[in-house]
Structure 1
Amino acid sequence: MRLNHLDLQVTDVARSVEFFEQIFGLELQSNRRSPAIAILGDGTGFVLVLQRRDAVCYPEGFHVGFLVEDVALVHAAHARATAAGLEISPVEVDNRSTRTYCRAPDGYLVEVGCPRTRSG
């Protein structure tokens, strides 16, 4: 079994599309002008659906996590988020992984991590 898609509720579809394209490299697969829904993909089969809601409230600790194959990709995502002026944690390194957490437009966290077994 593998994850097919994730559906996130957002207050501004265009702003969230820009966030996931710019920082995480996802590609829009639907109509860019739709204020109600957007479908993005990672090129390997994962689909992220963004649906507009007037108000959203994610619980404390909720986050979305992306795995990358190289520590350099964690640092690259950190650099893109920093350059965009987004709220992002310092890059953390421990026995499990190298990772960083970026705050999405609707307040939830998005993690980018490289497991220790995959790179340095």
Structure 2
Amino acid sequence: MRLNHLDFHVPDIAETADFFIRHFGLKLKDLRGNNGLAILEDDSGLEIVLSHAIAKFGTADQVEIGRQTYHIGFILPEKADVEAVHAGLIVAGAMLSGPPAVMRGGWLFYCTAPGNILVEVGWRPG
């Protein structure tokens, strides 16, 4: 069994999609409606779906509730890759936890993506 997709409810689908495409190399697989739903894909086939909050699932996203109730993580192949992503996020004015640091056996940092999604970016020695 493998994880197929994650669906994040965000207020601005285009802004959040652009963030993940520019900074994490995800590819736009499908865009539906006028800023209605975006499907992004990583290089291993995992899809990240960005959609608006749905009434039957509580009608709120993390911006609306004002909390980060989960986080996602990207693992990079080299320590230098973490530094490069961090530098790009600084230039873009992203919300960062601070510089990369040694945590839980790896080299990592956190940032907040549009939609109030907490993102962990790290490398771990193999």
Question: TM-score per shorter chain, which class?
Answer: 0.7 to 0.9
More displaced, 29-38 or 18-27?
Answer: 29-38
Q: Residue 34 of structure 1: CA displacement?
A: 3.4
Q: Percent identity between the aligned chains?
A: 40
Contact 1:14/1:32 (CA < 8 Å) preserved in 2?
no
SS of 2:61's partner is coil
More displaced, 66-75 or 52-61?
Answer: 52-61
Q: Residue 45 of structure 1: CA displacement?
A: 1.1
Q: Residue 55 of structure 1: CA displacement?
A: 4.2
TM-score (norm 1): 0.86
Q: Distance in 1 between matches of 2:103 and 2:109?
A: 12
Structure-2 change in CA distance of 1:65 and 1:95 (3 Å): closer
Structure-2 change in CA distance of 1:83 and 1:62 (3 Å): same
Runs of 4+ residues deviating >3 angstroms: 58-61
Q: Residue 95 of structure 1: CA displacement?
A: 5.7
Report the equivalent of 1:2: 2
SS of 1:29's partner is strand
Report the equivalent of 2:74: 66
User: Aligned-residue CA RMSD in angstroms?
Assistant: 2.0
Structure-2 change in CA distance of 1:73 and 1:27 (3 Å): same
Mind listing any 5+ residue stretches in structure 1 that lack a counterpart? none
Q: Residue 51 of structure 1: CA displacement?
A: 0.5
TM-score (norm 2): 0.82
Report the equivalent of 1:100: 109
